[in-house]
Structure 1
Amino acid sequence: MEDIVDQELSNYWEPSSFLQNEDFEYDRSWPLEEAISGSYDSSSPDGAASSPASKNIVSERNRRQKLNQRLFALRSVVPNITKMDKASIIKDAISYIEGLQYEEKKLEAEIRELESTPKSSLSFSKDFDRDLLVPVTSKKMKQLDSGSSTSLIEVLELKVTFMGERTMVVSVTCNKRTDTMVKLCEVFESLNLKILTSNLTSFSGMIFHTVFIEADEEEQEVLRLKIETGIGAYNETQSPTLSIDSLY
């Protein structure tokens, strides 16, 4: 009797015997149907919780997309980007801002020094020796032309980027010449723009002017043309007309 029981138990726990046993009903479609019904059954608690979860996914995707757009805008206004990954962009932006702060302190110190200098030391004597005057030659004419060209704003690059939330970033790169920083500020003030903040820095004979302006995305191209026209009009006013009296 014990041998018969042992044999039946042995056959019962064999894989083939186990699957063929009458008492076990195996339905292959059961896991898939349960998974599908669990996903689409709106009456179940899991189905009700899937809607907030999907909203969270969409919200997170939008947040990351907005963050990437702002990183791209930040990368466009920072002149020296070492690498294209997020950490490098932020690190280079911090270094750039620190450089701007250093230049700002340097300019403020120069302004204070100029303000403290007596006006008498800045005045020029109007007395001159008439005997030293010589007729104007072609060489003198070239010097006058070169002198007038140094007063112009020579723009190397102009970029207008939309950052989002009605904020436009204008980045102007130009050659460093006499009073170029002051002239750029005068141009932007004359355009009557809604300027939020601006930064000026000088590096390797060039000037980088970054201006944050309140504007809509649709105004991007109009704003670019407005700035180009303003700089061109300013250069025209700075080109002196040569008169006969100025030659002697």
Structure 2
Amino acid sequence: MDGLCLSEIGGCKDGRIGRGQLEDDGDDTQFKSKNLEAERRRRLKLSQRLLTLRSLVPKITNMNLATILDDAATYIVELKKNVDALSDQLLEMEASSEDGPKALVDEIDAVQDMEANGIKPDVQVTGIDEHKLWIKIVIPKRRSQFTKLLEMLSICGFELTDTSITTFKGAMLISSCMEGASGEMLKASQTKDLLQEIIKGI
């Protein structure tokens, strides 16, 4: 009997150790479960941010992480080049506007130069999709005219991207992708009329 009791006591001790191990295993399972849930949340957040990035970058060649980041970096570099080019253009135009009477003479010369070379003011609008248009504007090179154009378009709720400006024989050629700031549908004919009205007023 004593031996049996000792055996049972020993068993009880072993049982207590076993229960402790079971409790530890339960903690490990719970800990792993929390880690899995945190990892799921992290992956979901990353996925959502990648989708947001994809919606902002017009050219995504593949949906894997490395390609999305590479395409986004390329797009940012292109935007920076455009910003630098536009900044230089604005500085040049602002500098010419500070010349007073000379700037006015230059503007008159620009108009005459355009006419002498058979270049006429023009507005062309082509649809890319229902939310984006490609515009090409030919106007005389006048001080601060591009800045005024941007301001008027912004007031009307439009944004320009991928913009390039070229000046030649008194004329300024502006090429750009145009879209509504709120993503509304754009019609080429109505946009052309609007641009012509804006250009007359600046």
Map 1:87-236; keep pairs closer than 5 Å: 87-117=66-96, 118-123=103-108, 147=122, 150=123, 154-157=126-129, 173-178=132-137, 186-191=152-157, 200-202=161-163, 207-208=176-177, 223-224=182-183, 227-228=184-185, 235-236=192-193
Query: Contact (CA 8 Å) 2:162, 2:176: kept in 1 or not?
Result: yes
2:33 — aligned with what? 54
Contact 1:187 1:231 (C-alpha < 8 Å) held by counterparts: no
1:135 aligned residue: none
Q: What residue is the counterpart of 1:24 in the other structure? A: none
Amino acid at match of 2:107: L
Paired residues, number: 149
Cα distance change on mapping 1:83 and 1:95 into 2, 3 Å: same
CA contact (8 A) 2:133 2:179 kept: no
> CA RMSD of the aligned region, Å?
4.5
What is the CA-CA distance between 1:61 and the residue it aligns to?
1.1
Structure with greater proportional helix content: 2
Deviations 1:126-164 (A, max 9, x none): 99xxxxxxxxxxxxxxxx9x94xx26x544135xxxxxx
SS of the aligned residue for 1:228 comes to coil
- Corresponding letter in the other structure for 1:207: S
Cα displacement (A) at 1:122 = 1.0
The match for 1:63 is 42
Q: Matched residues, percent identical? A: 22
Q: What TM-score do the two structures reach when normalised by structure 1?
A: 0.44
Q: Distance in 1 between matches of 2:110 and 2:39?
A: 70
CA contact (8 A) 1:201 1:207 kept: yes
Change (3 A) 1:51 1:190: farther
Which structure shows the higher strand fraction?
2
- State the match for 1:32 in structure 2: none
TM (normalized to structure 2)? 0.52
Residues 188 and 111 of structure 1, relative CA distance in 2, 3 Å threshold: closer
Kept in 2, the 8 Å contact 1:100–1:199? The answer is no
Distance in 2 separating the partners of 1:63 and 1:186: 43
Structure (1 or 2) with the larger CA radius of gyration: 1
Partner Cα distance (1:77, 1:209) in 2: 15
Q: Is residue 69 of structure 2 the alignment partner of residue 86 of structure 1?
A: no
